[in-house]
């Protein structure tokens, strides 16, 4: 193992709008942790079961026990959000004074709000509220950086890199390479570039 968990079990929520690639984000994290010998439980829920609705992934990590996939309300340790409104939703339900939040600030309005004609809130206000509700907040411009690499969907790998670079997870670049190779055998180089960009963003 690279290093010890910051908490055992460690409870992580990965949230985003369907189609953003947050399932792949969770897949990469879980596989890397399993390869390192951790016990990992994965759960998922779809509040709106259609493309464009939010998708919530629950990850529980332990060195010794197989934790339940259900994270109790108010008990998330880390929230990784690919969209700021979804970050607020998760903080309101699962947040606590010690929660760490990593958020991609690019807004995407989910179907469950567009169908109701709800106006998207101010991103600046959202980010201030997210920061106020979190013990630590990492703002990672993942979509913007992914576009520079030629594909906005690579925001998910950039966020994985940010997690690795932040020290939140007991993972490093060397551990992630075989996982990326398995998932993206024909596009390893660009995905490693995305991973490195995420690591770089949280080091700045």
pLDDT (tens digit per residue) in 162-191: 999 999 999 999 999 999 999 999 999 999
- CB-based contact 82:110 (threshold 8 Å): no
pLDDT category at 49 given cuts 50, 70, 90 is: very low
Report how far residue 190's alpha carbon sits from residue 130's, in angstroms, rounded to the nearest whole number: 31
Q: What three-state secondary structure class fits 48? A: coil
pTM of the predicted protein model? 0.90
pLDDT at site 181: 97
Chain position carrying tokens 């939040």: 101
pLDDT at site 140: 97
Q: Provide the residue count of the chain.
A: 204
pLDDT (tens digit per residue) in 66-88: 988 889 999 999 999 999 999 99
pLDDT at site 54: 77
Please determine, for residue 1, whether its predicted confidence score (pLDDT) is greater than 60. no
Report how far residue 141's alpha carbon sits from residue 106's, in angstroms, rounded to the nearest whole number: 7
Q: Write down all domains in the chain, each with its CATH number in brackets.
A: 10-203 (3.40.920.10)
């Amino acid at each position: 193992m690279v290093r010890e968990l910051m908490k055992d079990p460690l409870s992580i929520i990965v949230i985003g709008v369907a189609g953003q690639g947050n399932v792949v984000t969770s897949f990469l994290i879980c596989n890397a942790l399993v390869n390192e010998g951790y016990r990992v439980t994965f759960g998922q829920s779809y509040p709106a079961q259609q493309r464009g609705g939010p998708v919530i992934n629950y990850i529980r990590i332990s060195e010794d026990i197989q934790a339940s996939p259900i994270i109790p309300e108010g008990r998330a340790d880390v929230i990784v959000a690919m969209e700021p409104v979804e970050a607020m939703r998760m903080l309101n339900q699962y947040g606590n004074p010690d929660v760490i939040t990593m958020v991609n600030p690019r807004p995407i309005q989910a179907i469950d709000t567009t169908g109701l004609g709800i106006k998207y809130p101010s991103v600046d206000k959202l980010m201030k509220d997210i920061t106020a509700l979190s013990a630590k907040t990492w703002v990672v411009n993942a979509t913007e950086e992914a576009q520079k690499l030629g594909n906005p969907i690579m925001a998910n790998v950039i966020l994985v890199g940010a997690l690795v670079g932040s020290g939140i997870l007991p993972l490093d670049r060397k551990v992630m390479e075989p996982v990326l190779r398995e998932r993206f055998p024909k596009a390893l180089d660009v995905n490693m570039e995305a991973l490195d960009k995420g690591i770089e963003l949280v080091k700045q």
